[in-house]
Amino acid sequence: MSRNCVFTQVFVKLQKMKGTLSSTHLNSIRTLRISSVISNDINNEVPSNTSHQQYDMFYPGHISTSLVQKSLLAAGSGIACLLNPARDDMLCALGETTGPPALKYIHSKMMSDSVGRQILEEKPVINTTTINLEKLGSLPDGTFGKEYWTFLKTNGFSPDARRPVNFIDDAELMYVMLRYRQCHDLVHTLLGMPPNMLGEVAVKWFEAIQTRLPMCISAALFGPIRLGPKHRRKYFDIYLPWAIRSAYNSKCLMNVYFEKHWEQDITEFRQELNLEPAPVPLIKTGKNTKTK
């Protein structure tokens, strides 16, 4: 399989994941594909077909890519994310192509914690097959499970919407990325932050500090640019200091077996984790989320 074919395969998959791309994104992809062809001429260490077949067997869904291809994919997906932060397919590609060093850091933190080791050994996944949403909805108000169910229902989310991992070249690190991705809405629930721009930026600061993922760091740094004047003031005065303080003081959430705490009171759960909830709650009013 040629280097250019693999690169084309990557973006064909991304197109299928999201649908038709905008003309801006298509132009970026064409540019990156041309760069990939050029890189073929100056870089001849392409593995044989046999080694590629073995390379693709890391885990189901893995797409083999070289360092050059990962760099081009990271650049292209980064540009796409700046143009449209709602492109979760590009966010995932950016996270996977830039994340391995941070994923190794997270993995080491999990291995040094008894619960983290248990998670890595059992490798639980969060989707509608493994959790009973109807049961979570029937739990008493104020429990972690009920709050999570309310978060999903209010925002029209589903645990099944989290994308699989494709570009991580290590099965163990692939699971770490998948676990991070599937726990994102649980972090929102614990922090009490909705998935609007202000809430996402605050959560990304928390995640950036705890995980060191470049994707989270980039979102935390560049996300505030899109905030309006009112939310920008609240962000700098309230939510940024709180997110940084809370991330440093609380237990690493990658070492939390969330599925074992559904029936626990969320206030008690936060106290166990030494997790400080948002100092000024964000409330939902109709289609708009605003601060009190």
185 annotated to bind ligand: yes
| 3-class SS string, the chain | CCHHHHHHHHHHHHHHHHCCCCHHHHHHHHHHHHHHHHHHHHCCCCCCHHHHHHHCCCCCCCCCCCHHHHHHHHHHHHHHHHHCCCCHHHHHHHHHHHCHHHHHHHHHHHHCCHHHHHHHHHCCCCCCCCCCHHHHHCCCCCEHHHHHHHHHHHHCCCHHHCCCCCCCCCHHHHHHHHHHHHCHHHHHHHHCCCCCHHHHHHHHHHHHHHHCCHHHHHHHHHHHHHCCHHHHHHHHHHHHHHHHHHHHHCCCHHHCCHHHCCCCEHHHHHHHCCCCCCCCCEEEECCEEEEC
56 in a labelled binding site: no
> Does the annotation flag 200 for ligand binding?
yes
Binding site per annotation, positions: 184-185, 188, 200
Binding site per annotation, positions for Zn(2+): 184-185, 188, 200
